Amino acid sequence: MEIKLYNTLSKTKEVFKPLKDGEVSMYNCGPTVYDFAHIGNLRAYVFADTLRRALEINDFRVHQIINITDVGHLVSEGDDGEDKMTKALKRENKPLTLEAMNEVATKYFGAFVNDLESLNIELPEKFPRASEHIQEDIELVTLLYKKGFAYKISDGMYFDTSKFPNYGKLGKSTDDKSTNGIMNELGSKDISRIAPNSEKMDAKDFCLWKFDTKLGWDSPWGKGFPGWHIECSAMSRKYLGQPFDIHTGGIDHIGVHHNNEIAQSEACYDQPLARFWMHNEFITMNNRKMSKSSGGFITLNSLKNESISPIGYKYWLLTAHYRSPITFSMEAVLGAQNALIRLMTSVSQYKGQNDNGSAITSYFERFMNFINDDLDTPQALALVWELIKDTKHTDANKLATLLQFDRVLGLGLAEVPKIDPGAELEALPDEIAALVFAREDARKEKDWKKSDALRIEIETRGYKILDEAKGFKVVKT
């Protein structure tokens, strides 16, 4: 079956064919682990997971890498400002040492992996850390310097964009119509978002190695840190080769980070970095991109405190196409979670009656047509509800079909316990069902204190949970 994916490089949907038959190499830009990920960050990984699952259901073996930036990423995402990891050390009253930086990075990397697992995201083959690939960075910068693409000034080594005629070919992020006019957190319209520096040959030139006499690693040019962009070029090449099939990230990566990756990698090795470039849109709040630098951001734990499960949040994301902006509100996510609860309740009804059903061919083919058309998850979810309402098919076949759908949607439907509310399932109020599933999440995470608190809250609202060997029962008291 043909797969079409939108390629930012060509600005069109293209039929996807991998470089190697039956295998796909994919690099997803990972987080800078200086703080907890917010839900806007996590949209990129739900998108990447959906893409991976879609490729896998099409019988491709996916080699996936998500990098971890634990050094060298400045707050401004340009060449000025404070390093994010240094900022984290100061915030947590840690000494300015590489050891302390590694300690902070390890803490937030662990939290990031926990978030991925809570969202039922398949983990990649490897999470390479920037701090463990300094030698690869130095080798890449050395080659660029030898080939005449790099030069040295007082604060670091820079890439000479004038020597790369196709610089910026991926496009701009902040001026692109796909952003719907939403400004980035700096309010910038510049293609590079790089601060003026009188020593640079051109304003677009970007840092390959940043000097720091007190902290960092030794290099042929001076002690310091690798530039943010050089890390991804070095790690993607090491683990996937060059070129590889797919590179993903948020749309804010297009104008600077990904254009810079392309320039330095192609200048260095005279071949493309990646064949397909794919980008997800922002989550917005008050018509601005959700970001840590703006001061107000929401984590998965924040949602959990509002009795919204990570899978409820994931369902909400899937109701929008990955290339469409989506505006966050608690009301919208709660509405999506209530729809997920109704879906899980239907699945729980189907379970146990007859587990020997078969996927319904007509529905599965329509589902695959939606997914293979640039991951059209809104249409795929609409089809889920069409199937549930269809009275022509048995519950067993509906269940088998939904479980096939879930190989791509990743909602964990196979793990839904059989639920007996002691009445008509539709009669269980949404707010009670939300508390019930929040308690199940807490139990899975072995957060017994939270689980007990939720049980008490359910009981104060006139319902009681009876745990059983294969699920649980909810009865009205």
> Are the C-beta atoms of 141 and 209 separated by less than 8 Å?
yes
Separation of alpha carbons 116 and 110, rounded Å: 10
Instruction: Please give the pLDDT value at position 75.
Output: 47
Instruction: Please give the pLDDT value at position 74.
Output: 54
Confidence of residue 382 (pLDDT cuts 50, 70, 90): very high
Confidence of residue 306 (pLDDT cuts 50, 70, 90): confident
Confidence of residue 194 (pLDDT cuts 50, 70, 90): very low
pTM: 0.86
What pLDDT, in 10s, does the model give residues 38-49? 999 999 999 999
Separation of alpha carbons 440 and 35, rounded Å: 27
Indicate the SS3 state at residue 14: strand
206-211 and 283-285: which strand pairing? unpaired
Indicate the SS3 state at residue 249: strand
Structure token pair of residue 321:
């196409």
Confidence of residue 191 (pLDDT cuts 50, 70, 90): very low
CATH architecture of 18-289: 3-Layer(aba) Sandwich (3.40)
Token pair 């720091």 is at which residue? 212
Indicate the SS3 state at residue 239: helix
Half-sphere exposure at residue 425, Cβ-oriented, CA atoms within 13 angstroms: 13
What pLDDT, in 10s, does the model give residues 237-290? 999 999 999 999 999 999 999 999 999 999 999 999 999 999 999 998 765 665
> Are the C-beta atoms of 406 and 412 separated by less than 8 Å?
yes
Instruction: Please give the pLDDT value at position 96.
Output: 87
Question: From residue 422, how far is each of 341, 343, 345, 388, 427 by CA, in Å?
Answer: 17, 18, 13, 22, 10
> Are the C-beta atoms of 229 and 145 separated by less than 8 Å?
no
Which has more confidence, 349 or 133? 133
12-15 and 4-7: which strand pairing? antiparallel
Question: From residue 384, how far is each of 138, 208, 457 by CA, in Å?
Answer: 50, 48, 32
Confidence of residue 196 (pLDDT cuts 50, 70, 90): low
Instruction: Please give the pLDDT value at position 427.
Output: 59
Which residue ranges make up each domain of the chain?
18-289, 417-477
Indicate the SS3 state at residue 227: coil
150-153 and 206-211: which strand pairing? unpaired
What pLDDT, in 10s, does the model give residues 8-47? 999 999 999 999 999 999 999 999 999 999 999 999 999 9
Q: To the nearest whole number, what is the mean pLDDT of the chain?
A: 87
Determine if residue 11 is left, alpha or beta; phi over 0 gives left, psi from -120 to 50 gives alpha, anything else beta: left
Question: From residue 144, how far is each of 164, 167, 336 by CA, in Å?
Answer: 12, 15, 49
Confidence of residue 112 (pLDDT cuts 50, 70, 90): very high
Q: Per-residue pLDDT averaged across 216-235, rounded?
A: 94
Indicate the SS3 state at residue 192: coil
Query: Comparing 113-127, 212-226, 254-268, which segment has the lowest mean pLDDT?
Result: 212-226
Structure token pair of residue 18:
């991998």
Largest CA distance in the chain: 78
Query: Residue 80 above 80 pLDDT?
Result: no
Cα of first residue to Cα of last residue in the chain, in angstroms, is: 53
Q: Per-residue pLDDT averaged across 75-95, rounded?
A: 75
Indicate the SS3 state at residue 26: strand
Separation of alpha carbons 406 and 311, rounded Å: 12
Task: Calculate helix-pair angle for 448-460, 430-444, nearest 10 degrees.
Answer: 160
Question: From residue 26, how far is each of 29, 48, 236, 347, 428 by CA, in Å?
Answer: 10, 9, 9, 33, 43
Determine if residue 258 is left, alpha or beta; phi over 0 gives left, psi from -120 to 50 gives alpha, anything else beta: alpha
Token pair 């920037």 is at which residue? 130
